[in-house]
A = this chain, B = another copy of it.
Amino acid sequence: MSDPIYLDYNATTPIDPRVVEAMLPYLRTHYGNPSSDHVYGHAAKAAVDRARAEVAALIGAQPAEIIFTGCATEANNLALQGAARALFSGNRRTLLVSAVEHPSVTQPMRQLAQGGWAVVEIPVDETARVDAGALEIGDDVALVSVMLANNEVGTIQPIRAIAEKAHAAGALLHVDAAQAVGKIAVNVDELGCDLLTLAGHKFYAPKGVGALYVRTGTALIPIMQGAGHERGLRPGTENVPHLVALGEAARLAREEGAQESVRIRSLRDALHHGLASAIPGLMLNGHAEERLPNTLNLSFPFVTGWDLLAGADALAASTGSACHAGNHAVSGVLAAMRFTPERAAGAVRLSLGRFTTEAEIEIAAQVLIAAWERRVK
């Protein structure tokens, strides 16, 4: 059997072959430690500097505002634990967090709640969106954390409006943009955030590298201590090949992202149209417009997503959030959207990407329709 059609780009992307090519010299030849004061070290350090500039350029930041990490989970932990520690001696004791965050935000928040912080959840509507107009941020709030785009349903949050309210109240804003960077334009000044997380493996760089944007002047206390790398915020010898990869992936996203998103959105909408025309009662999950262009989360009627995908093994897709499979409980995101158990159970996430073709989308529609009909009829 040939490989299944990959429609799980939100779980992880393939590495772009151009990114692999950019990495190879740093796997094969330029092996120096960036901290070493000789030509091998200097070559590695220069590569890290270039990567930092590329990542900064992608999101409209200064290079010195980019802290490289081992993954987006680490960046989220550094942002939340780090800001909370830096702010703990102040008078503010409340943290606000949206109801649809990834576990790498909700779990650090849970720990902070045990450490003297009041953690208050910001609800979302049935499209998974925060109502920025209704959001109240008091002067007891130290930090607000709202993701830019949801990993499961793709809904994009009104970050700029949230940032304005946060800053008017004197609070910091952290934005988990792991699922957004590379899929939509992201600019830290337009968003107005103080901290922003990104993940290499969501935009065609390898797994095992991420970054935290830290706006100049934002104080963090690091979660690890060591030899002072990354302005003292993230010690440990730099993962040079992965940083080179992240830089190259950022360059590609900056240069090609806008055009690419048009193509992907068109394929995604064609897939949606094909399925909706054959499956009465098919429901779109997430916001109809304010949504990542690659993400199509649908609830199929009269089946579970699990059973549907089990009968569609020509596709690789996901039911809940693929980052924590093995756990087939109803997704916390869909629960926060107040879905009925039937609608939540019927949800399938189809996420497209750079290498998705029109032919694949046509087959995917046929496969899903046939699998649904076999289950239902």
Contacts and interface: CB of A to CB of B under 8 A. Distances in A.
Nearest to A70: B70
A71 interface: yes
A208 B317 CA distance: 29
A240 B322 contact: no
A208 B241 contact: yes
A20 to B, nearest CB: 5
Contact of A322 (B35, B209, B317): B35
Contacts of A104: 224-227, 235-236
B37 A326 contact: yes
**Copies held by the complex:** 2
Nearest to A40: B316
Given A28-B15, A36-B8, A235 B326 contact: no
A14 B26 CA distance: 10
Contact of A237 (B23, B201, B317, B318): B201
Given A17-B28, A323-B33, A207 B40 contact: no
A14 B36 CA distance: 14
A33 B15 contact: no
- Interface residue range, chain A: 35 or more
Contact of A227 (B28, B223, B241, B323): B323
B74 A36 contact: no
Contact of A324 (B111, B228, B309): B228
Contacts of A323: 33, 35, 227, 237
B39 A3 contact: yes
Given A103-B227, A107-B225, A228-B103, A71 B37 contact: no
In the complex, the 3 A-B pairs of residues with the closest C-beta atoms, listed nearest first: A208-B239, A70-B70, A107-B225
Given A36-B322, A37-B322, 11 more contacts: A12-B32, A13-B31, A20-B27, A37-B325, A41-B325, A70-B208, A104-B226, A199-B237, A207-B240, A227-B324, A239-B242
